[in-house]
Amino acid sequence: MEAFDLERCGNTTMSLACAQSAFDYVLAYVQEREQFGEELIDFQAVQLAIAEMKMKLDASRLLLYRAVINARGDLPSIAESSIAKCFANEMAREVTGKALQLMGGYGYSKAYPLEQKMRDAWGWGIAGGAIDVQKTNIAAALAGRRFNQRAK
């Protein structure tokens, strides 16, 4: 079961890669696509979305780094690996969703890569223990005990 602590870091990496790829794609897109005679990046709402996406990507990367560096050659802790995975899974869903929205109808089309990235982001939130399972792991680590999740 301790190997799952390492697997959660791998899952975090995949979620982060998926979201980073979507971000990189949409950042280039909003600087090329024009609407009303201006590049999309010139609209404040687009600027805010881009900034929020970048902040969440960086925060996710730092949580992963913390889990790995604190392992010091051992397996990451259940708390830090669960926090990193949970945050990265939610972040990837949010970032790919915003990226798709910034592309409008093109984002939803299979002719562009965003729809696949969004589906992948949702998948990583299920693989290796769903987001809610990670939240239970986090609470258990904070309380210093495991919780019985079976119906009584």
Architecture of the CATH domain 3-143: Up-down Bundle (1.20)
pTM, whole model, 2 decimals? 0.90
Using alpha carbons, list the distances in angstroms from residue 128 to 28, 99, 133, 150: 32, 25, 9, 19
Give the start-to-end residue ranges of the domains of the chain: 3-143
Q: What is the pLDDT along the chain (152 residues), one digit of tens a residue?
A: 667 778 899 999 999 999 999 999 999 999 999 899 999 999 999 999 999 999 999 999 999 999 999 998 888 888 999 999 999 999 999 999 999 999 998 888 999 999 999 999 999 999 988 899 899 999 999 999 988 877 66
Structure tokens at 79: 């708390």
